[in-house]
Chain A
């Protein structure tokens, strides 16, 4: 029989307000195995913990029940207390009499009765607790960053700065991401390229960082500290080490009419191309969908002009296998398709554009050399209408659009409007808005400047229809403050399209067993207290893959994710969670059910020799749990038909004892 101590916490009036804590402590004294029971105002305080330690010594306790708040809150605290008193820390059970009891009941008698029942269950469970020791696993001191935008770049630089090697995997031929496409950045109006490209060069020059551009992660195995990752290096038909980025090949390439992704299809590139002048790595890539040589075997001009002999038409996709201690997801965002919002005539007129397209039209390295010309006829637009919230803030069950606020649109629209008024004062600029949301340092001041100093017309209302007619965009919208319908003949309409996570995020989340929300944003381990960690150990989140955010926020989060990675890589060994599944090999029938239900891939099967009672040996197929991968979810224990699988710390007999105690 165990010697159990019960400690009932008042939590000020949080618990004591609706639970008679003294009655609970008194009732526990009569439970089998309980040799000591008491109550205290704040059990988690230092005095409370000292009280527990003293009781362990005085009453030679070998099991502790704390009746307090949720185990999420203070289980770790009381485990440390137990360890300090010389007990195994897994000999502690928490009865949650706050969140699941005092906070949900109003009447003292009911609250007290329920608290007693919960405490009895915990006592029944702790009677069966066995000491557990966490296993150890080594840490591979290398990190993988998936995505090479500003989030991935900043995370990689910070990790490398702490002395750990980092690999960046980027699907595009260059790193830089969306920020490389932007013109100026709010609220300071620095040129995006001027602040981003030095960082891209830093990445390229950092000895600790390897860039796998034009590459994808295709498989992830393993667990925190030791992820085995397969990286597909897509054939770029140009040898990266030989190419000097001179650009001779692109000049000679006869296929000149390939829509240029970097300029969002508003101009053309060659079949062999370098996305932009400051690309990193600055090497050419051949687009196999348009290259004559690759499609028909007839051309080969680029190979002839390449002084470095870097062109290789026979290149094949290559697969790398690498091991990492930590993985950072930085897969970023894209504007949503405007296909379902054609009341704004995006598909009908070239002069209806998205804000990202406007960035390219205003960028000195863009298709118009930075002069704002409307796409249809290359004339200066004199009246420009901006429409906010296109596809953002829609009803949850809407067939189109997103429920969330995309967060960045109010500010970049103010920026666009301001820049246009500054450069072309003869232009009338209208912004239709639902709300102007500017919570950020110097953000509202920036928006007010657009209105007060630059004369941008902000209209509280929404555009309902855009009708292209005779070269004019007839914009019909509401002005709610003036209670009238406005009709504006515009030359250019700019849509603030909602943003959504990159399409690669969903399959990646599956590979990583990292959870996502219904919008395909990665879920954080705790929305407030662990914002850059995924609930899957060793997987961290950086940038817009976790939710819409602007550049300052992205960079802060990127640094935070890096510090979490560094904290992990600094360790030589990791302590695992000992509450993991365990299979009784003698009972296992080798059916594979557990392997199929395990969401973490922690269960494998092996053929093992068993000595039979008649002294012969027999080979049987049995389940084996990788304790470092197992997260202790318990799915396998439920699925196991032979009852071989059990979860340490939550064994079937412990759960049943709890149920019995409650039902008694």
Chain B
């Protein structure tokens, strides 16, 4: 594991409050994830790859924008690992970097229709940009 990855791992564990060592590799998170098909790396892989320090791969993957934050993996995990918090921590690590916003205010007007609630836009900005 490189030193850079070591730091990134430490940062992600701190931010998320997750201890990946609690995972018993049952796969219930990935069994329950509604966005599984849209993801390159799946919830159980987030747990495993953060533990092994493969943070770069996760940071470069579009998977981090596919999580719905529905917390089904968090509630159904028998060991209380909370994979969704790891996904969020990796995503924040990316978008907090300069120029790395996944969505900017410029792209909002194109999204709007008559019904789209403000809540969706506010949430999207929270999840996809800093």
CB contacts under 8 Å to A, within B72-115, are 72, 76, 78-80
In-complex Cβ contact of A483 among B28, B42, B78, B79 (8 A): B42
Considering the complex, give the chain B residue whose CB is closest to the CB of A398.
Answer: B80
Interface string of B11-48 (1 = CB under 8 A from A): 00000000000101111111111001100001011000
Instruction: Report the minimum CB–CB distance from B42 to chain A (whole Å).
Output: 7
Considering the complex, give the chain B residue whose CB is closest to the CB of A400.
Answer: B78
Query: Are B27 and A480 touching (Cβ within 8 A)?
Result: yes
Q: A395-B78, A464-B72 are in contact. Are A480 and B32 (CB under 8 A)?
A: no
Q: A462-B26, A463-B31, A464-B30 are in contact. Are A478 and B44 (CB under 8 A)?
A: yes
Query: Are B30 and A398 touching (Cβ within 8 A)?
Result: no
CA distance A480 to B28 in the complex (A): 10
CA distance A209 to B44 in the complex (A): 56
Query: Are A464 and B28 touching (Cβ within 8 A)?
Result: yes
In-complex Cβ contact of B25 among A401, A434, A479 (8 A): A434
A-B contact count (CB 8 A): 71
Question: Any chain B CB within 8 A of the CB of A257?
Answer: no
CA distance A183 to B22 in the complex (A): 37
CA distance A139 to B47 in the complex (A): 60
Instruction: Report the minimum CB–CB distance from A564 to chain B (whole Å).
Output: 36
CA distance A432 to B33 in the complex (A): 16
Query: Are B30 and A395 touching (Cβ within 8 A)?
Result: no
Instruction: Report the minimum CB–CB distance from A406 to chain B (whole Å).
Output: 13
CA distance A338 to B80 in the complex (A): 19
Interface string of A384-419 (1 = CB under 8 A from B): 000001000111011001000000000000000000
Query: Are B80 and A464 touching (Cβ within 8 A)?
Result: no
Question: Any chain B CB within 8 A of the CB of A465?
Answer: yes
Query: Are B79 and A485 touching (Cβ within 8 A)?
Result: no
Query: Are B78 and A394 touching (Cβ within 8 A)?
Result: yes
Interfacial chain A residues near B28, Cβ < 8 Å: 462-464, 478
Question: Any chain B CB within 8 A of the CB of A476?
Answer: yes
Q: How many residues of B contact A (CB 8 A)?
A: 21
Query: Are A464 and B31 touching (Cβ within 8 A)?
Result: yes
Question: Any chain B CB within 8 A of the CB of A474?
Answer: no
CA distance A7 to B72 in the complex (A): 64
Instruction: Report the minimum CB–CB distance from A433 to chain B (whole Å).
Output: 9
Considering the complex, give the chain A residue whose CB is closest to the CB of B36.
Answer: A485
Query: Are B78 and A393 touching (Cβ within 8 A)?
Result: yes
CA distance A145 to B128 in the complex (A): 65
CA distance A480 to B80 in the complex (A): 19
Considering the complex, give the chain B residue whose CB is closest to the CB of A464.
Answer: B32
Interfacial chain A residues near B26, Cβ < 8 Å: 389, 393, 434, 461-462
Query: Are A478 and B30 touching (Cβ within 8 A)?
Result: yes
Question: Any chain B CB within 8 A of the CB of A460?
Answer: yes
Query: Are A480 and B25 touching (Cβ within 8 A)?
Result: yes
CB contacts under 8 Å to B, within A106-146, are none
Instruction: Report the minimum CB–CB distance from A640 to chain B (whole Å).
Output: 46
CA distance A312 to B44 in the complex (A): 63
Question: Any chain B CB within 8 A of the CB of A31?
Answer: no
Instruction: Report the minimum CB–CB distance from B76 to chain A (whole Å).
Output: 6
Q: A434-B25, A464-B72, A480-B44 are in contact. Are A401 and B31 (CB under 8 A)?
A: no
CA distance A628 to B44 in the complex (A): 58
Instruction: Report the minimum CB–CB distance from B116 to chain A (whole Å).
Output: 28
Instruction: Report the minimum CB–CB distance from A14 to chain B (whole Å).
Output: 33
Query: Are B30 and A461 touching (Cβ within 8 A)?
Result: yes
Considering the complex, give the chain B residue whose CB is closest to the CB of A465.
Answer: B32
In-complex Cβ contact of A389 among B30, B78, B80 (8 A): B78
Question: Any chain B CB within 8 A of the CB of A559?
Answer: no
**Which residues of A are at the interface with B, using a C-beta cutoff of 8 A?**
343, 389, 393-395, 397-398, 401, 432, 434, 460-465, 476-480, 483, 485
**Which residues of B are at the interface with A, using a C-beta cutoff of 8 A?**
22, 24-33, 36-37, 42, 44-45, 72, 76, 78-80
**3 closest pairs, A vs B, by CB?**
A464-B32, A464-B31, A478-B27
Pairs across A and B, CB under 8 Å, 18 listed: A343-B32, A393-B24, A393-B78, A394-B78, A394-B79, A395-B22, A432-B31, A434-B25, A460-B27, A461-B26, A463-B28, A463-B31, A464-B28, A464-B31, A478-B30, A478-B42, A480-B27, A485-B30
